Amino acid sequence: MSEKSPSLPAWLERGMAELFPSGKGLSPDQDLSSRLEIAKLKNRPLRIKLGIDPTSSEIHLGHSILFRKLRAFQDAGHTAVLIIGDFTARIGDPTGKSTTRVQLTAEQVEANASNYLSQLGQGQLPENSLLDFNTPGAIEVHRNSEWLGKLDLSKVIELLGNATVGQMLAKEDFGKRYSSGIPISLHEFLYPLLQGFDSVAVDSDVELGGTDQKFNVAIGRDLQRYFQQSPQFGLLLPILVGLDGSQKMSKSLGNTVGLNEDPLSMYSKLEKIQDSLVTSYFTLLTNLDLGELPSGQRDRQKAMALAVTASFHGLDLAEAAQRDASNLVSGVGAQLADVPEVSIENMVFPVKAFYVLSAIGICSSSSEARRQLKGGAVRLDGRKIIDPNFEFSKKDELIGKILQLGKKTFRRLI
């Protein structure tokens, strides 16, 4: 009778879209459960790679899925190898892009990287952050300029020799652009190879990525074999659908929930997501037992919103946000405590309603403010305002009140 390989732990399998290779047996290069078992026997933590290109300054819930899985590996005793792609960010990942990305300056990338690390919890206690930066051996943070910045032309040519033009054009994004006659710059072909070389540089055992990153992760495996390392496993996680219920969560699409959002805004957005998304949000954004969730759909939405908000702001603030959101629906604006505040101290009165919305920044322009007012999306302490030219004669008419735009945006005027 053949010896059976151990099964993967539940914390690792939760939310997993694909694991490759996923062979069953005792080979630590084909079966991740075997590599985990050998690591345990040898008391050698696995090295779990996650690379991020800091091409923007904010992290949203869609990004957090990967960091949550990385944290799960940390909590199981393995080492998170977080790679800040300061070098590759200057190229920009072409995945999902229909045109060549604008290259960032080193200063822009470093500013974004600092913001990323702060949002991930650097300098905070582990219980209050996405990643554990405190426990010895739990994390390594690298910038890939450490090794990519030192590559000479001969090494770059060696890397290029590990891929063919056919392979690159088989990548869906490149293939579409090529067939449509949209230019592909040669430096874009370098991105998957440089990102793959990161796996060699840190001797990665497992690389985490979204389902759109399989090509890049596979390149890392190929390069590790070339450099005579044990090839990493690719563990891919789903792409989180955004608040619109149809497209991936993306800041450019305006369908995100940011990690830095205040508790009330975060909770209010989450409790209104489409019914079809609730289970995936529970699975990917919480550790709750899916078999013990509330039966009613509305109760499930609220439980999910509370759990996710609590994971970033703590249970007390999340519960306060839940109460405040309920009060807003009931029109009890004066009882709210945790709505973001905005000053109208320098506003000159009398002032028209459309100007208030644009001046405090919840509408991007006066024309946008007029449109929102006419569409019935604006309330002041629960009372709908429709006339853009409605005039407030003095400051006392606004001070302390809650201005609401749509179902998700709230500001207390002070």
Separation CA 351–CA 353 (nearest Å): 7
Instruction: Walk along the chain (414 residues) in steps of 10 and give the mean pLDDT of each run.
Output: 64 95 80 92 96 83 95 97 90 56 76 90 88 96 94 92 86 82 85 94 97 92 95 96 89 83 86 91 93 88 94 90 76 56 86 89 86 87 82 83 80 82
Separation CA 7–CA 9 (nearest Å): 6
According to the model, what pLDDT value does residue 336 have? 53
Judge whether 71 and 38 are in contact, CB under 8 Å: no
| Identity at 303, one-letter amino acid code | A
Residue 336 DSSP label: -
According to the model, what pLDDT value does residue 324 have? 81
Angstrom CA distances, 170 to 23, 97, 163, 176, 189, stand at 24, 15, 11, 9, 12
According to the model, what pLDDT value does residue 327 have? 73
According to the model, what pLDDT value does residue 382 have? 66
According to the model, what pLDDT value does residue 329 have? 61
Cis peptide preceding 294, ω within 30 of 0: no
Q: Which domains does the chain have, with CATH numbers?
A: 10-237 (3.40.50.620), 261-332 (no CATH), 341-413 (3.10.290.10)
The CA-based angle 355-356-362, given to 5 degrees, is: 105
According to the model, what pLDDT value does residue 36 have? 93
According to the model, what pLDDT value does residue 102 have? 63
Determine how β-strand 233-237 pairs with β-strand 206-210: parallel
SS3 85: coil
